[in-house]
Amino acid sequence: MPLRRVFIANRGEIAVRIIRACLQQGIETVVGVSVPDRESMAASMADRAVCIGPGSASASYLSQERLISAALGTGCDAVHPGYGFLAENADFAQLCSDNDLIFVGPTPDNIRSMGNKLEARALARKFEVPLAEGSVRITDFTHAEQIAGEIGMPLLFKAAAGGGGRGIRIVNQPADLRSAFDQAAAEAQAAFGDKALFMERYIENARHVEVQILADTLGDVVHLGERDCSLQRRYQKMVEEAPSVGLKDSLRSAIHEAAVRLSRNIGYVGAGTVEFIVDLDREDFYFLEMNTRVQVEHPVTEMLTGVDIVGEQLRVAAGLPLSIRQEDVRLDGHVIECRINAESPAKGFQPSPGRITAWTPPKGAQIRLDTHAYVGWTVSPYYDSLLGKLIVRGSDRAEALDNMAAALADFEVEGPDTTLPFLRHVLSAEDFRAGRFNTRWLEAFAPSFQALPA
């Protein structure tokens, strides 16, 4: 049954992105907005905007009852959660279903099984997806000490109940084990309400590579290639690109096949991303986690393949088959994405809320900008600092890098501080341009920007 009216339970650029996808399919949209977001771009674009509460996310974008009430009260037949907030909340997906609202995303069982990292690892092992050496559930330090002796240093503590970089600590030497355990457990308890951890061997020279998956209710699963998301700061991605750099074709194919195998065997439905860590020294890969939602960086893949991932989400939610088959997927050139955040790189990337007084983005045939920012918009301190995503293509990586450098140079923003100066610095780095980077590179590189003259 085609979707008629979709309620968007999110804000910012992803709300705008969903509205545009709905417009293309002739679907009406209602966006839920908090009080500070009443003048947002999404509110002006949707067929209707409904206030769902004050600025605090817990009283608005995270209030399941308010969102369901707003969706039902405006006659919507589906809910798109975007990313973040409730996008990977199985209870919310179930609540939508219980109220005869189609959840534009995977099933509650999909979300639950991949949301618990230990269950996800068990499923990966069952379906022969490679795993780094790791542990069972850990809740006390004595147990952690025993397992650390078996795995060896360095190792990682991770939260069993969730991801997103929270509850992670690297341990390089036994003397640091106790403090890392206590900090990771406390962070896991605060973020997920569950202090349980598990441990993995830490791979120092690694790349973060993720495979975009689409699956429909008829059992068809396709992959749209992979993205390299190794440029991260405090586990938050800043620059993504596709295809990933320097992977042998055999390794690339094995990663794709593993992602499809896992998705098919767990009966996955919708858009998802299977994330892997690639050990550059061993030339091998290991399962990290599966994100059961559309990713922030999905435009990289859309621009590379021409496939409308959000559009496919809407098709699958309506019970339609995917519009593409695996043999239809073509990779066109090389694509890079930079995240433009309202942050002050020179001040340790502190958030920089405030009113935007000038906003002049670059334009061109090889440039895409996903944003919700405009002149006069006030960046709120309540939410994440993402202003937009600049996505640029080239015929190969060298051309894409040159195009991105030029686009960043042309991008002018006044008002809040932004990450634009830092991104320009990254694009000029010889090691990045040569592909000599791993998941630790950006953290080590950042101080070189902060040392520049003001």
In what helix (H) or strand (E) does residue 157 lie, and over which residues does it extend?
Answer: strand 155-159
Task: Specify whether 196 is located in the same domain as 211.
Answer: no
Task: Specify whether 251 is located in the same domain as 141.
Answer: no
Task: Specify whether 332 is located in the same domain as 430.
Answer: yes
For CA atoms 395, 305, 229, 388, give the dihedral sign. Answer: positive
With left for phi above 0 and alpha for psi between -120 and 50, is residue 187 left, alpha or beta? alpha
Asked if residue 117 belongs to a domain, the reply is no
Task: Specify whether 38 is located in the same domain as 147.
Answer: no
Task: Specify whether 365 is located in the same domain as 293.
Answer: yes
pLDDT of 167: 85
Task: Specify whether 291 is located in the same domain as 405.
Answer: yes
Asked if residue 121 belongs to a domain, the reply is no
pLDDT of 155: 95
pLDDT of 235: 85
Asked if residue 23 belongs to a domain, the reply is yes
Domain boundary (152, 183, 201) is at 201
Write the CB contacts of 322 (distance below 8 Å, at least 6 apart in sequence): 214, 215, 216, 220, 222, 312, 315, 316
Contact 310, 294 (CB under 8 A): yes
pLDDT of 27: 98
345-390 pLDDT, tens digit each: 999 999 999 999 999 999 999 999 999 999 999 999 999 999 999 9
Q: What is the DSSP string of 57-108?
A: GGGTTT-HHHHHHHHHHTT-SEEE--SSTTTT-HHHHHHHHHTT-EESS--H
pLDDT of 179: 96
Task: Specify whether 91 is located in the same domain as 154.
Answer: no
Among candidate residues 66, 169, 252, 293, the one labeled active-site is: 293
Task: Specify whether 395 is located in the same domain as 255.
Answer: yes
Task: Specify whether 229 is located in the same domain as 191.
Answer: no
The β-bridge relationship of strands 270-279 and 378-379 is unpaired
Asked if residue 115 belongs to a domain, the reply is no
Asked if residue 285 belongs to a domain, the reply is yes
Q: Which of 52, 131, 20, 2 is nearest to 370 (CA)?
A: 20
Task: Specify whether 167 is located in the same domain as 259.
Answer: no
Beta carbons within 10 angstroms of residue 298's beta carbon? 27
Task: Specify whether 197 is located in the same domain as 218.
Answer: no
126-167 pLDDT, tens digit each: 999 999 999 989 999 999 999 999 999 999 999 988 776 788
Task: Specify whether 27 is located in the same domain as 97.
Answer: yes
Range of the domain at 296: 206-448
N-terminal to C-terminal alpha carbon distance within the chain: 58
Beta carbons within 10 angstroms of residue 234's beta carbon? 9
**Amino acid found at 255:** I
Asked if residue 128 belongs to a domain, the reply is no
CATH number of the domain that 163 lies in?
A: 3.30.1490.20
Number of independent structural domains in the chain: 3
- Convert 304-319 to b/e letters by CB count within 10 Å (16 or more is b): bbebbbbbbbbbbbbe
Asked if residue 120 belongs to a domain, the reply is no
Asked if residue 123 belongs to a domain, the reply is no
CATH number of the domain that 83 lies in?
A: 3.40.50.20
pLDDT of 165: 74
- Residue 46 is given by DSSP the state S
Residue ranges in the chain modelled with pLDDT below 50: none
Write the CB contacts of 342 (distance below 8 Å, at least 6 apart in sequence): 351, 352, 353, 354, 379, 385, 387, 416, 417, 418
Radius of gyration of the chain (CA): 21
pLDDT of 191: 84
Place of tokens 């699958």: 316
Domain boundary (201, 220, 241) is at 201
pLDDT of 328: 96
C-alpha dist (Å) from residue 161 to 106, 293, 294, 405: 18, 17, 20, 39
Beta carbons within 10 angstroms of residue 91's beta carbon? 12
Among this protein's residues, is 293 annotated catalytic?
yes
Domain boundary (168, 201, 234) is at 201
* pTM recorded for the entire structure: 0.95
CATH number of the domain that 299 lies in?
A: 3.30.470.20
